[in-house]
């Protein structure tokens, strides 16, 4: 399981996170080119992205089209063969106290949902 902290900087991810991805995504190591096209070599993992944003992007088509943070991470990890990507999101953090409190509550609900989901997964039952 990989947990990624990804704040939204100018509609994308921070340069520090990008630098990590540039080290991670390497032909022959985490993906390879085959006759049928690129193939991810890092499957079988769960990625949890803790996503924060000053504004709100998830509730409109226009907002979703503007953000290249969650959509980009989905593409990158998908390219590496990781299809189980889960998001914990706090957005609207810079829009005043009411929005901020609502965002934290939403993120806490996301976390609770993840924990419930994990408890019901077969691998959790095996571990128990």
Ligand X SMILES: Cc1cc2nc3c(=O)[nH]c(=O)nc-3n(C[C@H](O)[C@H](O)[C@H](O)COP(=O)(O)O)c2cc1C
The residues of the shown chain that bind ligand X, judged by CB under 6 A, are: 7-11, 52-55, 93-94
For the CB of residue 91, give the shortest distance to ligand X in the complex, in Å. Answer: 7
**Residue nearer to ligand X on the CB measure, 55 or 81:** 55
Q: Where are the beta strands (DSSP E) in 37-119?
A: 37-40, 46-53, 84-91
The answer to whether the CB of 93 falls within 8 A of the CB of 53 is yes
For the CB of residue 29, give the shortest distance to ligand X in the complex, in Å. Answer: 31
When CB distances to ligand X are compared, the closest residue is 54
The answer to whether the CB of 108 falls within 8 A of the CB of 90 is no
**Residue nearer to ligand X on the CB measure, 12 or 41:** 12
**Residue nearer to ligand X on the CB measure, 27 or 94:** 94
**Residue nearer to ligand X on the CB measure, 9 or 79:** 9
For the CB of residue 70, give the shortest distance to ligand X in the complex, in Å. Answer: 12
At residue 54, φ and ψ (nearest 5 deg) are: -70, -40
**What is the SS3 assignment for 27?**
strand
For the CB of residue 56, give the shortest distance to ligand X in the complex, in Å. Answer: 8
* Nearest 10 degrees: Cα torsion 41, 119, 122, 82: -10
């Amino acid at each position: 399981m990989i947990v990624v902290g990804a704040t939204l900087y100018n509609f994308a991810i921070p340069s520090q996170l990008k630098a990590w991805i540039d080290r991670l995504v390497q032909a022959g190591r985490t993906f390879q080119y085959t006759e049928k096209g690129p193939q991810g070599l890092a499957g079988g993992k769960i990625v949890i992205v803790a996503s924060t944003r000053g504004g709100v992007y998830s509730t409109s088509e226009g907002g979703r089209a503007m953000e290249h943070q969650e959509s980009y991470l989905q593409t990158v990890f998908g390219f590496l063969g990781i299809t189980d990507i889960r998001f914990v999101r706090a957005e609207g953090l810079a829009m005043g106290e009411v929005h901020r409190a609502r965002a934290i509550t939403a993120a806490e609900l996301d976390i609770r949902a993840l924990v419930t989901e994990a408890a019901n997964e077969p691998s959790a039952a095996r571990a128990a």
